[in-house]
């Protein structure tokens, strides 16, 4: 007798003959027991200090915003050491209750670890984390002033008042004249600046300027730096300009850096440029200055030709300023500024128009305003300001330079006579009268077409002719041919002709120096 066929799930009808019932009974599959999956450890062990694994774990805790309470419990049980890196991680995770627990731990283990952690974290934490620490630290300071430095990293009026009181007490107990400021005072001054309360500017400025210990002055300057935008700008700028000339190079360099951050800083830095500065401070000043491109408006010669002296002046200025210098001649169409010119203008926020014209003639009164208006329209289109300087002949320093030239002639036994283009109008007459007084020498109206024989040079002694022209022109070339330089320097010719002003080394150097420091 045959045994019944085996009915498998794969072949349920294998033994069913013809006409067999359609009902199929499936054999139940044996149950499979799943393997146990590894569960993440709720509180992983903390790797050894200074290890990469420890750093990665603490970073992960920060990113995930884990509940710090189990970690606090392990610290309170002594299962973990209160290392500063762990405390720094927990400092940004705890709420107010957690902050109080960490402060209680610090009272047991000592404050150094937590103070170090808070010094690292409180300046950069968000508002919620800072708020979590504010009240606990205020309470802790009432018991132990050691917590005043961490408290000072929270910006709040009550904190600022606590800092003022502590600084006043420290200054009373250790006046700056004693030359031994306590370390706590050095720590508190920057924190007072970080509070950014305008009323504290006077104290910080005074301590930075006074002949106090250098560490105290540097701490006060750091306080000014941390609250820079909160202080009254006028006294701040004046104080920083004085500090930039300090005998301590580090203090002076810091002051230069802060001046560069003020809204009117570039103007103050440019005023500082002529001052005697320590070499490294002057180098720092050079890196902080931003010079605007210059447009030098000059007379030019016929056909728009620009004399070589003016071309050389522009090249030297561009090299020394690190910014483009464009020459525009009155006798030629306005030049087109290239993209580099406008890029430099946008960097400096402005371009500067300097009329190198010596007399208030028609060019200054009529042509100059129209030219300035065209540049102003272009500057507005580029989003920069136009700075317009007075014409060169109106500069008091320029007039003093000419007066020195005439004084040197008189000292050499010569009668100075300066030659100027004929002018018309009351303004021109007033200017010429003023210049005669400044130079203590007469002037003579002389057109460009004048010949040497037309000049009234008869007099008791030799004459020094000073043509009022920056560069060579038709008149200067005519006079040069008529009055050649004496072959023997020891001989005194009846007429000594001075070359155009830019060909005279002292005058050219003055102009270079004056134009170089323009903002």
**DSSP conformation letters of 313-334:** HHHHHHHHHTS-EEEEETTSPP
Domain that residue 281 falls in: 232-289
Residue 292: φ, ψ to 5°: -80, 155
What pLDDT is recorded for position 43?
Answer: 63
Question: Is residue 6, in this structure, part of any structural domain at all?
Answer: no
What pLDDT is recorded for position 15?
Answer: 41
Residues 374 and 476 occupy one common structural domain: no
209 CB contacts (<8 Å, ≥6 apart)? 217, 239, 242, 243
Question: Is residue 202, in this structure, part of any structural domain at all?
Answer: no
What pLDDT is recorded for position 233?
Answer: 92
Contact between residue 443 and residue 419 where contact means Cβ atoms under 8 Å apart? yes
Contact between residue 274 and residue 303 where contact means Cβ atoms under 8 Å apart? no
Two tokens, residue 16: 């069913």
The span from the CA of 365 to the CA of 428, in Å, is 10
What pLDDT is recorded for position 329?
Answer: 94
Residues 368 and 449 occupy one common structural domain: no
Of 244, 272, 289, the last residue of a domain is 289
Residues 402 and 497 occupy one common structural domain: yes
The CATH number covering residue 382 comes to 3.40.50
Residues 318 and 272 occupy one common structural domain: no
Element (H, E) at 129: helix 127-143
**Of the candidates 37, 127, 54, which has an alpha carbon nearest to the alpha carbon of residue 88?**
54
Residues 271 and 302 occupy one common structural domain: no
Residues 274 and 345 occupy one common structural domain: no
Two tokens, residue 8: 């498998």
Residue whose entry in the numeric block shows the structure tokens 């500057």: 379
Question: Is residue 30, in this structure, part of any structural domain at all?
Answer: no
Strand partners, 329: 298
Question: Is residue 448, in this structure, part of any structural domain at all?
Answer: yes
The CATH number covering residue 429 comes to 3.40.1010
What pLDDT is recorded for position 287?
Answer: 85
Residues 284 and 330 occupy one common structural domain: no
Tens digit of each residue's pLDDT (9 = 90 or more) over 273-299: 888 899 999 989 988 888 899 999 999
Question: Is residue 260, in this structure, part of any structural domain at all?
Answer: yes
What pLDDT is recorded for position 386?
Answer: 94
Question: Is residue 458, in this structure, part of any structural domain at all?
Answer: yes
Element (H, E) at 467: strand 463-467
The span from the CA of 75 to the CA of 78, in Å, is 5
Tens digit of each residue's pLDDT (9 = 90 or more) over 108-131: 889 999 998 888 887 654 555 578
Tens digit of each residue's pLDDT (9 = 90 or more) over 356-410: 999 999 899 999 999 999 999 999 999 999 999 999 999 999 999 999 999 999 9
What pLDDT is recorded for position 267?
Answer: 78
Tens digit of each residue's pLDDT (9 = 90 or more) over 188-226: 999 999 999 999 999 999 999 988 889 999 999 999 999
What pLDDT is recorded for position 485?
Answer: 72
Residues 500 and 400 occupy one common structural domain: yes
Two tokens, residue 26: 């499936």
**Helical H runs in 174-232?**
183-194, 201-209, 214-226
Sign for the CA dihedral angle at 498, 500, 505, 507 comes to positive
**Of the candidates 168, 170, 223, 166, which has an alpha carbon nearest to the alpha carbon of residue 197?**
223
The dihedral region occupied by 306, where left means phi > 0, alpha psi between -120 and 50, and beta the remainder, is: beta
Residues 381 and 405 occupy one common structural domain: no
Contact between residue 91 and residue 133 where contact means Cβ atoms under 8 Å apart? yes
**Of the candidates 299, 301, 326, which has an alpha carbon nearest to the alpha carbon of residue 314?**
326
Provide the whole-model pTM: 0.59
Of 357, 392, 427, the last residue of a domain is 392
The span from the CA of 232 to the CA of 354, in Å, is 32
**Of the candidates 422, 407, 303, which has an alpha carbon nearest to the alpha carbon of residue 362?**
422
Virtual torsion, Cα 10, 12, 13, 16, nearest 10 deg: 140
Could you say which residues of the chain have pLDDT below 50?
Answer: 1-41, 125
Question: Quick one: how far is CA 194 from the chain centroid?
Answer: 20
What pLDDT is recorded for position 4?
Answer: 42
Number of domains, the chain? 4
Mean pLDDT, rounded, of the chain = 86
Residues 312 and 238 occupy one common structural domain: no
Residues 401 and 506 occupy one common structural domain: yes
Question: Is residue 20, in this structure, part of any structural domain at all?
Answer: no
Contact between residue 404 and residue 431 where contact means Cβ atoms under 8 Å apart? no
Residues 402 and 387 occupy one common structural domain: no
CA geometry: angle 103, 108, 109, nearest 5 deg = 95
What pLDDT is recorded for position 490?
Answer: 58
SS (H, E, C) 451-463: CHHHCCCCCCCCE
The span from the CA of 144 to the CA of 134, in Å, is 15
Of 151, 185, 218, the last residue of a domain is 151
The strands making up 443-445's β-sheet, listed across from edge to edge, are 443-445, 415-420, 463-467, 495-497
Question: Is residue 342, in this structure, part of any structural domain at all?
Answer: yes
Residue 30: φ, ψ to 5°: -65, 140
């Amino acid at each position: 007798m045959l045994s019944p066929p085996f009915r498998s799930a794969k072949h349920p009808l294998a033994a069913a003959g013809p006409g067999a019932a359609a009902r199929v009974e499936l054999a139940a599959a044996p149950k499979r027991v799943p393997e146990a999956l590894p569960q993440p450890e709720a509180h992983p062990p903390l790797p050894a200090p200074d290890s990469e694994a420890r750093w990665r774990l603490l970073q992960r805790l920060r990113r995930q915003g884990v509940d710090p309470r189990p970690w606090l419990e392990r610290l309170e049980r002594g299962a973990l050491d209160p290392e500063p890196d762990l405390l720094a991680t927990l400092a940004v995770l705890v709420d107010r209750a957690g902050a109080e627990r960490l402060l209680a731990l610090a009272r047991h283990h000592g404050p150094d670890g937590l103070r170090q952690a808070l010094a690292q974290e409180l300046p950069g934490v968000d508002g919620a984390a800072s708020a979590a620490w504010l009240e606990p630290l205020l309470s802790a300071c009432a018991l132990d002033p050691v917590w005043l430095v961490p408290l000072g990293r929270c910006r709040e009026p009550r904190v600022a008042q606590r800092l003022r009181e502590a600084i006043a007490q420290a200054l009373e107990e250790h006046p700056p004249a004693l030359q031994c400021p306590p370390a706590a005072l050095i720590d508190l001054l920057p924190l007072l600046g970080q509070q950014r309360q305008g009323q504290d500017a006077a104290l910080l400025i005074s301590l930075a300027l006074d002949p106090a210990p250098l560490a105290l002055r540097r701490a006060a300057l750091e306080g000014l730096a941390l609250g820079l935008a909160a202080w009254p700008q006028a006294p701040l700028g004046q104080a920083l300009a004085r500090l930039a000339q300090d005998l301590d190079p580090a203090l002076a360099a810091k002051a230069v850096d802060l001046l560069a951050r003020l809204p009117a800083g570039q103007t103050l830095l440019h005023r500082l440029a002529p001052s005697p500065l320590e070499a490294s401070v002057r180098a720092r000043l050079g890196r902080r200055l931003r010079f605007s491109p210059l447009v030098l408006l000059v007379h030019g010669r016929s056909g728009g030709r620009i004399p070589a002296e003016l071309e050389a002046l522009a090249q030297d200025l561009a090299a020394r300023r690190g910014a483009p210098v464009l020459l525009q001649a009155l006798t030629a169409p306005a030049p087109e500024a290239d993209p580099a010119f406008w890029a430099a203008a946008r960097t400096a926020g402005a371009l500067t128009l300097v009329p190198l014209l010596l007399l208030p003639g028609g060019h200054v009164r009529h042509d100059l305003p129209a030219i300035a208006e065209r540049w102003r329209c272009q500057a507005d289109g580029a989003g920069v300001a136009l700075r317009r300087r007075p014409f060169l002949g109106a500069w008091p320093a320029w007039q003093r330079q000419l007066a020195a030239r005439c004084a040197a002639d008189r000292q050499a036994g010569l009668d100075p006579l300066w030659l100027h283009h004929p002018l018309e109008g009351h303004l021109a007459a007033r200017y010429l009268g003023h210049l005669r007084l400044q130079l203590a020498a007469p002037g003579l109206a002389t057109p460009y077409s004048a010949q040497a024989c037309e000049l009234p040079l008869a007099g008791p002694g030799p004459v020094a002719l000073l043509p009022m022209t920056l560069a060579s022109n038709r008149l200067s070339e005519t006079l040069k041919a008529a009055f050649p330089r004496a072959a023997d320097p020891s001989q005194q010719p009846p007429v000594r002709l001075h070359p155009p002003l830019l060909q005279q080394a002292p005058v050219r150097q003055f102009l270079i120096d004056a134009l170089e420091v323009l903002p």
